[in-house]
């Protein structure tokens, strides 16, 4: 495979965007066909590039001009995250009708996100990720300017922070290429910047952030695509950091703090999910909840944790595709989607969560408590899922943007994929883990039917297939028509939720007391500073002269 082929997963969606725009200007809307084709072609290209060789491939096209070469790299990590971005994006671009402008922007967003994943250095990832973020905001505002969207400033802060981390690596370590950064260059401050960027880019916070907010938009066309393209990128940074740190973060405190933060994020999402007034509200918390679990395991710093995290993220990607196409009405599609989302046995989510919690106990010490916390959060999720099956549907999405059959199919696939956990682990997650954690100690092994960790053997086929049969029988015996949709009280409320809301309102409405406003009269300040007054000029000159004599 010639190395120039590495450009294909990025170029094909770009080409699609160009074709859509050309036809759109001519009055033809090729949006769905071309954007879908572009995304699927990119996916195919990624598979074709990676699968035959299954080894790292690089393409160097020279310097771009800001200290970073235009170097693309496809390794197991890029492949894994490429799939996470491309599969749900291709699904929604193919199945949802959109204007040619929205389709072109969507295709560009996909290209940018794949570019961020394929980029071989931190700075290039920042450029591509920043582009994906810009396009995401434009897509969302272009669809509905009044609907919730990620705060642009927050996304910009994330990618600027990553840029800064990248340039620090360039200055201190001579390079920002993931594979070449000296371990000593990844100092705690640099990693803190990368972690900050990762958390902000994916909205990984305990309160209701953009991955939850965008699901409350009247239309979920742009929302689904944005979550598909942006959400994995923050995790990508945290995974790549292992590569730069030779398999570990610069200090164990980062692992503890980030893993704890992950549980708190999942808990926040669970708390909101169990008190959601509508099913849409519940489903909106699914991706942040899965993300919290993924963060917890990715940050543990053990091979098993990372494997569990990657499988959890793949599960999140599948759920993104599913939820973006799910209609706001009851029925088997919603039921199966909720079951898959909460990690009902033997779903992929179930397997990933089992592995994740096990990994916390294997990590030992403090991390065991994190596992206990995660178990409690999972229980809350289960109860919240059960409650959500009987909730009113929500605001009602436009039917043309939904595809209940495909949504249900995706949910079913994640449900039945549980027994294939060992296959997914060995073919998908293990190579990525091995790429960033080169030391084999604690690595996950096993064949196609079971997983072998340090402390146990998990015979996934033997355990999960009977569970799957039981689940199928139970679903067949159950009568979903008996479920009464009605408003239901929350299971519990956090006592401080109201206080936090009050505090936020007070901060938002804070204003300067009347008697001090003359001191900060912007108009007067503006007139003094920018009014072209010679006296101000002379005073400034004196100030400068004084300053240089200090």
Q: Does residue 156 belong to the site contacting another protein (CB under 8 A)? A: yes
Q: Does residue 536 belong to the site contacting another protein (CB under 8 A)? A: yes
Q: Does residue 133 belong to the site contacting another protein (CB under 8 A)? A: yes
Q: Does residue 531 belong to the site contacting another protein (CB under 8 A)? A: yes
In the complex, least distance from residue 164 CB atom to another protein, rounded to whole angstroms:
5
Q: Does residue 270 belong to the site contacting another protein (CB under 8 A)? A: no
Measure the CA–CA gap between 207 and 100, rounded to whole angstroms.
Answer: 35
Q: Does residue 413 belong to the site contacting another protein (CB under 8 A)? A: no
Stretch that binds another protein, among 42-50, 81-89, 133-141, 337-345 (CB under 8 A): 133-141
Cα-based distances in Å from 237 to 159, 248, 286: 11, 13, 22
In the complex, least distance from residue 102 CB atom to another protein, rounded to whole angstroms:
9
Q: Does residue 544 belong to the site contacting another protein (CB under 8 A)? A: yes
Six-digit token pair at 463? 């355990």
Give the DSSP letter of residue 208.
Answer: -
Q: Residue 488: exposed, middle, or buried by beta-carbon count in 10 A (0-12, 13-18, 19+)?
A: middle
In the complex, least distance from residue 545 CB atom to another protein, rounded to whole angstroms:
5
Q: Does residue 26 belong to the site contacting another protein (CB under 8 A)? A: no
∠ CA 228-232-237, nearest 5°, is 155
Q: Does residue 142 belong to the site contacting another protein (CB under 8 A)? A: yes
Please select the residue that binds another protein; options are 76, 110, 126, 458, rule is CB under 8 A: 126
Please select the residue that binds another protein; options are 105, 220, 300, 347, rule is CB under 8 A: 105
Measure the CA–CA gap between 467 and 460, rounded to whole angstroms.
Answer: 10
Please select the residue that binds another protein; options are 4, 48, 53, 171, rule is CB under 8 A: 171
In the complex, least distance from residue 170 CB atom to another protein, rounded to whole angstroms:
6
Q: Which helix (H) or strand (E) holds 69?
A: strand 69-74
In the complex, least distance from residue 5 CB atom to another protein, rounded to whole angstroms:
21
Stretch that binds another protein, among 43-51, 86-94, 122-130, 229-237 (CB under 8 A): 122-130
Measure the CA–CA gap between 329 and 393, rounded to whole angstroms.
Answer: 5
Q: Does residue 101 belong to the site contacting another protein (CB under 8 A)? A: yes
∠ CA 407-313-378, nearest 5°, is 85
Residue (111 or 420) nearer to another protein, CB: 111
Q: Does residue 497 belong to the site contacting another protein (CB under 8 A)? A: no
Task: Annotate 6-40 with DSSP letters as a single string.
Answer: GGHHHHHHHHHHHHHHHHHHTT---HHHHHHHHHH
Give the DSSP letter of residue 425.
Answer: I
Nearest residue to 348 via CA among 443, 429, 227: 429
Please select the residue that binds another protein; options are 22, 29, 33, 67, rule is CB under 8 A: 67
Contact call for residues 406 and 90 (beta carbons, < 8 A): no
Contact call for residues 198 and 234 (beta carbons, < 8 A): yes
Q: Does residue 166 belong to the site contacting another protein (CB under 8 A)? A: yes
Residue (136 or 363) nearer to another protein, CB: 136
In the complex, least distance from residue 417 CB atom to another protein, rounded to whole angstroms:
35
Half-sphere exposure of 547 (CA within 13 A, CB side): 6
Measure the CA–CA gap between 260 and 255, rounded to whole angstroms.
Answer: 8
Residue (482 or 547) nearer to another protein, CB: 547
Residue (172 or 488) nearer to another protein, CB: 172
Contact call for residues 426 and 446 (beta carbons, < 8 A): yes
Residue (149 or 279) nearer to another protein, CB: 149
In the complex, least distance from residue 28 CB atom to another protein, rounded to whole angstroms:
19
In the complex, least distance from residue 212 CB atom to another protein, rounded to whole angstroms:
22
Q: Residue 426: exposed, middle, or buried by beta-carbon count in 10 A (0-12, 13-18, 19+)?
A: middle
Q: Does residue 145 belong to the site contacting another protein (CB under 8 A)? A: yes
Measure the CA–CA gap between 266 and 289, rounded to whole angstroms.
Answer: 4
Q: Where are the alpha helices (DSSP H) in 68-148?
A: 76-95, 100-118, 122-143
Nearest residue to 41 via CA among 19, 57, 56: 19
Q: Does residue 163 belong to the site contacting another protein (CB under 8 A)? A: yes
Please select the residue that binds another protein; options are 127, 287, 342, 444, rule is CB under 8 A: 127
Q: How many residues bind another protein (CB under 8 A)?
A: 55
> How many helices and strands in the chain, by DSSP H and E?
23, 4
Contact call for residues 66 and 37 (beta carbons, < 8 A): no
Q: Does residue 540 belong to the site contacting another protein (CB under 8 A)? A: yes
Please select the residue that binds another protein; options are 10, 83, 123, 205, rule is CB under 8 A: 123
Q: Does residue 508 belong to the site contacting another protein (CB under 8 A)? A: no
In the complex, least distance from residue 402 CB atom to another protein, rounded to whole angstroms:
24
Measure the CA–CA gap between 299 and 242, rounded to whole angstroms.
Answer: 10
Q: Does residue 65 belong to the site contacting another protein (CB under 8 A)? A: yes
Rg (CA), the chain: 25
Q: Does residue 170 belong to the site contacting another protein (CB under 8 A)? A: yes
Residues binding another protein (CB under 8 A):
62-67, 70, 101, 105, 112, 123, 126-131, 133-134, 137-138, 141-142, 145, 152-153, 156-157, 159-161, 163-164, 166-168, 170-171, 522-523, 526, 529-532, 534, 536-537, 540-541, 544-545, 547-549
């Amino acid at each position: 495979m010639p190395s120039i082929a590495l450009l294909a997963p990025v170029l094909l969606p770009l080409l699609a965007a160009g074709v859509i725009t050309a036809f759109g200007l001519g009055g033809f809307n090729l949006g769905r066909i071309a954007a879908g084709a572009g995304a699927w072609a990119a996916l195919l290209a990624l598979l074709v590039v990676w699968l035959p060789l299954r080894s790292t491939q690089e393409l160097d096209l020279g310097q771009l001009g800001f200290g970073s070469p235009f170097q693309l790299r496809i390794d197991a990590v890029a492949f894994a995250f490429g799939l996470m971005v491309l599969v749900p994006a291709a699904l929604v671009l193919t199945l949802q009708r959109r204007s040619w402008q929205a389709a072109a922007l969507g295709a560009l967003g996909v290209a940018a996100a794949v570019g961020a994943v394929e980029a071989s250095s931190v700075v290039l990832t920042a450029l591509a990720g920043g582009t994906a973020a810009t396009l995401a905001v434009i897509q969302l505002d272009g669809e509905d300017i009044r609907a919730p969207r990620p705060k642009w400033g927050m996304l910009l802060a994330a990618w600027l922070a990553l840029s800064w981390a990248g340039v620090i690596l360039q200055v201190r370590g001579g390079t920002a290429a993931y594979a070449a950064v000296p371990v000593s260059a990844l100092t705690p401050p640099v990693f803190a910047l990368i972690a900050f960027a990762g958390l902000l880019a994916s909205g990984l916070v305990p309160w209701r952030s953009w991955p939850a907010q965008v699901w409350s938009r009247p239309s979920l066309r742009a929302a689904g695509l944005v979550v598909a393209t942006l959400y994995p990128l923050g995790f990508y940074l945290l995974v790549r950091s292992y590569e730069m740190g030779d398999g570990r973060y610069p200090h164990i405190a980062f692992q503890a703090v980030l893993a704890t933060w992950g549980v708190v994020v999942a808990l926040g999402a669970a708390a909101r999910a169990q008190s959601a007034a509508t099913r849409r509200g519940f489903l909106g918390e699914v991706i942040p909840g899965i993300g919290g679990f993924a963060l917890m395991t990715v940050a543990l710093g053990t091979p098993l944790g990372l494997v569990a995290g990657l499988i959890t993220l793949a599960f999140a990607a599948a759920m993104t595709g599913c939820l973006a196409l799910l209609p706001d009405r009851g029925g088997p599609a919603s039921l199966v989607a909720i079951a898959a989302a909460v990690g009902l046995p033997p779903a992929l989510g179930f397997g990933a969560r089992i592995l994740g919690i096990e990994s916390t106990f294997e990590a030992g010490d403090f991390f065991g408590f994190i596992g206990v916390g995660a178990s409690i959060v999972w229980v809350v999720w289960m109860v919240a899922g059960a409650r959500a099956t009987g909730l009113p549907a929500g605001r009602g999405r436009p039917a043309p943007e939904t595809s209940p059959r495909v949504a249900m199919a995706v949910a079913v696939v994640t449900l039945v994929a549980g027994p294939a956990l060992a296959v997914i682990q060995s073919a998908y997650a293990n190579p990525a883990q091995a790429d960033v954690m080169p030391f084999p100690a604690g690595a996950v092994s096993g064949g196609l039917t079971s997983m072998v960790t340090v402390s146990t053997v998990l015979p996934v086929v033997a355990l999960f297939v009977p569970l799957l049969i039981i689940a199928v029988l139970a679903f067949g015996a159950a009568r979903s028509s008996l479920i009464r949709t009605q408003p239901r009280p929350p299971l519990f409320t956090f006592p401080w939720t109201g206080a936090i809301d009050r505090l936020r309102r007070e901060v938002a409405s804070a204003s300067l007391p009347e008697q001090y406003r003359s001191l900060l009269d912007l108009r007067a300040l503006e007139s003094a500073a920018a009014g072209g007054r010679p006296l101000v000029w002379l005073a400034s000159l004196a100030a400068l002269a004084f300053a240089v004599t200090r």
